[in-house]
Structure formats: structure tokens, C-alpha cells
């Protein structure tokens, strides 16, 4: 989806959010402007890059625009190689999760958007042809070589360079010369400091497991906590000044980018009757069993990654996380949305945050 309507994002969003029909903002943490991922499946990079931009600001006091496509360029060859090593019986596509971005930052580094744009105009990316080419090449490597052939992987790298551009080894930014790794360090990002959490009962609480969603192609580990602890962790992080990367199901009638909210209506009325958040019907209470049933039945799937940047409350005292989406600025909140607590509890797949944003007891349990 590519929804782009030019708006003065920050000024308009703040004005509307503070208006009578919008919830009152309680926490509003610094983030870069909402942009569009275009016609790509790279929400994982857009959301987590935005998250790291806010992290860099929290750490250094300076807000930078990092390249989303640098992570895409770093991670795509790994996807192809993994697909081949699994004899073609593995996920292969444009999707990913937050830990792919921190892995790219650890492996390669971070570069500014002005240094690496990814071969297309920002906000107008279209990876349809690239994704098809990568899938074709991956399948050909399986069928023709039967293994990870050097020549085949070199062809993959050359194709990615042609579509996205070569990754820079050094660059000049604000008058200083950097490598991607030295720039990552200069903006304060330590990739090992980020924790991923989830909440499901088919694995023991208090342990890590490989989250079983297709886009977890890298087999990333998530620390499993009870649902109340997951929600409380996000509240705690925001209250301490830490934003959160959020992975969730959005393929349901309660998620409306155009209206600027994500709610659990419980089958009461229709969105035409709700009009604004203050008039929403009472949402169902979401417990651990309800959440697990939705995941087991695959009602809840790993659809989309976003960035939690604040919290708000409506006139009835109901709280909402404020998210920054990557579908452009085409709603009345400049591309942001209000996510109810019931929606978060039911539809969250996982979150990423800095380990210091985790409550102390949980941090100790995670041995971080």
C-alpha cells in the first residue's frame, strides 16, 4: 500500500491529535516524520529504522534520517543463501522482522538516507520486480547448483547492486568522514542492547523461543512473558522515554489507517457509527487464552511492523498507544494511529525495545 498525501506532518498531526475529537496526548516521544514504504514489503526496515532514529536521538540528542534500504540491501543475500541451504524449503520473500535491522547494523553499520537512497525516490519505492528477480534467482540456485555456489551468490549481489545501489564503504556526513560502523557507533546504537519480547502459552514463560511466523527467516529468539507483563513493559518503556518497535496483525476490521485508529469493537455497531474514538463501543477484555486462540487458529498473523512513539487517553479514560505507520501521511493524524489496549493485547505478535527500557525485575529474568 502506498498512501501519500502531502501534509505538514508534525504541526498538523499535533494540532489534530490535541483537538476535541482526538484523545489527549500523555506521552509524545521524538521521532522522524512519517514516510511511506511505497510498494514494498519492507515495513520491518521502515519501522525499526524509525525506532533506531528515535534511539539515536534519546542517546545523543541529535535526530538523523537513517537509510531503510541499507538494511534491506544487507539482509536480502542472507535470505537467498538461507533459502538455498534449506533446499528451497524455507521462507523467501521481502518480509522480515525487527531483529533483521539490528543484525544489519551489527554486520554492516548504519548510513544516512542522504548517503544511500536505495536506487529509487524516497517514498516511491517499488520492489515488485526486485522481489520477483530474487525469488527466481534463489530457486535457480537450488535447481541448478544444488548448493550455495560462489558464482550464484555473486550474481545475487550484482543484481541487488543494480536495483538498490552499492553499499558505501566510507562516506562524508556533516563534514565528517565515516564508515557505516563508525557512524553507527557515533550515533550511539549498540545492536546487542535490543531485546525482543512476545507472549504465548505454547512455550514456557520466562524462556526464549524462535517465534513461529513466516517472516522470522533468521530464526530470531523472543523472550516469552505473560500478557500483562508485555503490556506493562511497553507502558514502562514509554514512561522512561524509550520508544518501541511493534509487530502486529492488521488484517482485521478494527485496524483503520484512514480513520487513524486500531480498536477491538467486539462486533458492536460499525465504524460509521463510531466516528471518533470517544464514541467507540466498549471493547472486550483480552486475556491470555483469547490471544493464544487467535494465534493458534492463525486469525492473528504477522502482518505489519510499526513504531510506538507515545500514549494518549480519551475522554472516557481509555488509553491508546500512538504508533507511527509507514503508509505515508494520508490520514488526519499525519500517518499516525491510536491503538487501544485491547487491540494491542489481542493482535501483538512481538515488540523490540532497548534493554534499559525493560522493567528491572524482567530485565534480571532475561539476564540482561
Chain length of the chain: 368
Nearest to 52 by CA among 122, 117, 106, 130: 106
Classified as helix, coil or strand, 148 is coil
What is the model's pLDDT at position 144? Answer: 81
User: What is the Cα 54 distance to its own chain's centre?
Assistant: 13
What is the model's pLDDT at position 149? Answer: 81
What is the model's pLDDT at position 2? Answer: 32
Give one DSSP letter per residue of 252-310, joined into a string.
STTEETTTTEE---TT-S-HHHH-SGGGPPPPPP--HHHHHHHHHTTSS---EEEEEEE
Q: Please, are residues 184 and 355 in contact by the beta-carbon 8 Å criterion?
A: no
- Burial class, 273, CB count within 10 angstroms (exposed 0-12 / middle 13-18 / buried 19+): exposed
What is the model's pLDDT at position 23? Answer: 86
Domains in the chain (CATH in brackets) are 9-365 (3.90.70.10)
Classified as helix, coil or strand, 65 is coil
Query: Cα–Cα distance between 127 and 22 in angstroms, integer?
Result: 35
pTM as predicted: 0.91
Give one DSSP letter per residue of 86-121, joined into a string.
TTT-S--SS---HHHHHHHHHHT---BTTT--TTS-
Query: Cα–Cα distance between 247 and 216 in angstroms, integer?
Result: 12
Query: Cα–Cα distance between 277 and 21 in angstroms, integer?
Result: 8
Tens of pLDDT along the chain (368 residues)?
333 333 333 333 443 444 435 789 999 999 999 999 999 999 999 999 999 999 999 999 999 999 999 999 999 999 999 999 999 999 999 999 999 999 999 999 999 999 999 999 888 999 999 999 999 999 999 988 667 888 899 999 999 999 999 999 999 999 999 999 999 999 999 999 999 999 999 999 999 999 999 999 999 999 999 999 999 999 999 999 999 999 999 998 889 999 898 998 765 556 665 566 666 778 889 999 999 999 999 999 999 999 999 999 988 889 999 999 999 999 989 999 999 999 999 999 999 999 999 999 999 999 99
Amino acid at each position: 500500500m502506498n498512501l501519500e498525501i502531502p501534509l505538514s506532518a508534525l504541526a498538523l498531526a499535533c494540532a489534530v491529535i490535541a483537538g476535541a475529537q482526538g484523545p489527549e496526548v500523555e506521552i509524545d516521544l521524538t521521532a522522524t516524520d512519517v514516510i511511506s514504504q511505497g510498494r514494498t514489503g519492507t515495513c520491518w526496515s521502515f519501522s525499526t529504522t524509525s525506532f533506531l532514529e528515535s534511539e539515536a536521538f534519546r542517546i545523543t540528542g541529535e535526530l538523523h534520517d537513517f537509510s531503510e534500504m541499507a538494511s534491506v540491501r544487507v539482509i536480502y543475500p542472507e535470505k537467498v543463501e538461507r533459502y538455498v541451504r534449506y533446499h528451497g524449503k524455507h521462507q523467501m520473500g521481502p518480509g522480515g522482522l525487527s531483529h533483521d535491522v539490528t543484525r544489519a547494523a551489527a554486520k554492516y553499520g548504519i548510513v544516512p538516507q542522504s548517503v544511500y537512497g536505495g536506487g529509487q525516490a524516497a517514498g516511491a519505492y517499488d520492489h515488485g520486480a526486485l522481489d520477483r528477480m530474487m525469488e527466481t534467482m534463489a530457486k535457480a540456485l537450488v535447481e541448478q547448483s544444488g548448493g550455495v555456489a560462489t558464482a550464484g551468490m555473486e550474481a545475487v549481489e550484482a543484481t541487488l547492486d543494480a536495483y538498490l545501489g552499492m553499499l558505501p564503504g566510507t562516506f562524508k556526513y556533516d563534514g565528517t568522514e565515516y564508515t557505516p560502523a563508525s557512524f553507527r557507533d557515533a550515533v550511539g546504537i549498540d545492536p546487542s542492547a535490543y531485546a525482543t519480547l512476545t507472549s504465548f502459552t505454547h512455550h514456557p514463560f520466562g524462556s526464549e523461543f524462535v517465534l513461529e511466523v513466516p517472516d522470522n527467516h533468521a530464526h530470531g529468539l523472543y523472550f516469552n512473558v505473560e500478557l500483562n507483563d508485555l503490556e506493562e513493559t511497553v507502558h514502562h518503556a514509554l514512561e522512561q522515554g524509550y520508544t518501541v518497535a511493534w509487530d502486529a496483525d492488521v488484517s482485521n476490521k478494527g485496524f483503520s489507517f484512514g480513520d487513524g485508529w486500531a480498536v477491538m469493537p467486539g462486533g458492536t455497531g460499525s465504524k460509521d457509527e463510531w466516528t471518533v474514538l470517544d464514541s467507540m463501543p466498549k471493547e472486550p477484555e483480552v486475556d491470555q487464552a483469547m490471544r493464544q486462540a487467535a494465534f493458534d487458529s492463525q486469525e492473528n498473523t504477522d502482518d505489519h511492523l510499526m513504531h510506538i512513539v507515545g500514549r494518549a487517553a480519551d475522554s472516557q479514560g481509555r488509553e491508546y498507544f500512538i504508533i507511527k505507520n509507514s503508509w505515508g501521511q494520508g490520514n488526519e493524524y499525519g500517518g499516525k494511529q491510536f491503538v487501544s489496549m485491547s487491540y494491542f493485547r489481542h493482535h501483538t505478535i512481538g515488540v523490540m525495545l532497548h534493554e534499559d527500557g525493560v522493567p528491572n525485575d524482567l530485565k534480571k529474568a532475561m539476564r540482561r
